[in-house]
């Protein structure tokens, strides 16, 4: 092929690429329609080859420069990495991706909830039937000796009030997030560690609840626990569900190889446990500022239930109507 024939044959393609590149102002391919984008992707390989052909035919410097610039610009449009804005990515995750992931992994959440409920009810019933069982679960600081007033909700709140609120809230957040990540990380034991951790904490709560009930202090107990506990326990259950997702992907890989199953399960589990971080932050703030306050117990309970209900509504409704990244 002569240089003149090469120019005559290829110039229409260059002109078309130039039009499409110019339309994608500032290198934004979203300005192109799907048809135009596919057309650009189809033409690009031949334009890239034209760079070498132009040199082979010893075309003038201006033409060679034009072809080279078109190839570079087209490559930049088609293959450049998508810029990710961190704040936008975080907002997108919590606005839709996290609740979608929660609903997709509902079976693991149901399993973690069942383990927690069985453990808590079992310890509660055992403590109610045999009060001495409480001392398997109850820390010494919450002991309620028979025949004496013992510890009340006001006593517990007063202990909190003696500490500065902000540092206390920060400490509570750190501790709770650590608890969540422990529940998740123990999933690597094929989920056995997560089950034990969840069962232990459930029995602790159930045993303490039964101990307070034995001393007719149910209201005092729940008015202290519910304000922050409704959201905190929900977040722990989600973190445990993430641990179970990780563990079962290792123990039961299904049709996938164990490595591929673990890789896929770990990605979902990590995202699920990361989604609980804001929940622990809010629960820590409530525990640091609201739980020890002088608000009436009924107000505290109502507030805790409302926050927990709002979180559940968000998990069940958030992201509906949006395309899931997994689809």
Tens of pLDDT along 24-46?
765 566 677 778 888 888 888 88
Residue 309 has pLDDT above 50, yes or no: yes
Report pLDDT for 63: 85
Residue 327 has pLDDT above 50, yes or no: no
The percent helix, strand, coil of the chain (3-state, each to 5) is 80, 0, 20
Q: Where are the domains of the chain?
A: 3-79, 86-317
Q: Tell me the mean pLDDT in the region 202-227.
A: 88
Per cent of the chain over pLDDT 70 is: 83
Residue 160 neighbours by CB under 8 Å, 6+ apart: 168, 288, 291, 292
Residue closest to 201 by CA, chosen among 110, 111, 118, 274: 118
Q: What is the distance between the alpha carbons of residues 46 and 35, in angstroms, rounded to a whole number?
A: 18
Identify the DSSP state of 30.
Answer: G
Report pLDDT for 119: 95
Identify the DSSP state of 323.
Answer: P
Residue 100 has pLDDT above 90, yes or no: yes
Report pLDDT for 158: 59
pTM listed for this prediction? 0.71
Report pLDDT for 193: 93
């Amino acid at each position: 092929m002569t240089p003149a024939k090469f120019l005559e044959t290829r110039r229409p393609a260059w002109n078309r690429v130039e039009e499409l590149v110019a339309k994608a102002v500032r290198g934004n391919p979203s300005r192109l329609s799907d048809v135009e984008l596919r057309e650009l992707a189809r033409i690009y390989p031949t334009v890239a080859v034209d760079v070498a052909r132009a040199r082979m035919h010893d075309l003038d410097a201006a033409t060679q420069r034009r072809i080279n610039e078109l190839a570079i610009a087209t490559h930049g449009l088609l293959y450049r990495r998508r810029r990710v804005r961190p704040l936008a990515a975080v907002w997108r995750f919590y606005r839709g991706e996290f609740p979608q992931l929660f609903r997709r992994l509902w079976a693991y959440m149901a399993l973690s909830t069942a383990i927690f409920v069985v453990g808590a009810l079992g310890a509660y019933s055992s403590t109610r039937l045999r009060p001495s069982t409480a001392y398997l679960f109850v820390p010494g600081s919450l002991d309620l000796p028979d025949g004496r007033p013992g510890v009340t909700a006001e006593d517990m709140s007063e202990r909190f009030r003696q500490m500065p609120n902000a540092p206390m809230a920060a400490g509570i957040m750190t501790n709770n997030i650590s608890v969540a990540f422990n529940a998740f990380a123990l999933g690597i034991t094929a989920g056995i560690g997560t089950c034990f951790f969840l069962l232990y904490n459930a029995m602790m709560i159930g045993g303490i609840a039964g101990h307070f009930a034995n001393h007719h202090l149910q209201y005092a107990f729940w008015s202290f626990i519910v304000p922050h506990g409704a959201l905190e326990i929900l977040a722990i259950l989600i973190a445990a569900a993430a641990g179970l997702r990780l563990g079962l992907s290792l123990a039961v890989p299904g049709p996938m190889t164990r490595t591929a199953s673990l890789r896929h399960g770990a990605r979902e589990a990590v995202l699920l446990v990361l989604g609980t971080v804001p929940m622990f932050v809010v629960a820590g703030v409530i525990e640091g500022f609201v739980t020890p306050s002088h608000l009436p117990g009924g107000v505290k309970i109502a507030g805790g239930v409302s926050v927990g209900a709002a979180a559940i509504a968000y998990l069940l409704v958030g992201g509906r109507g949006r395309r899931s990244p997994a689809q």
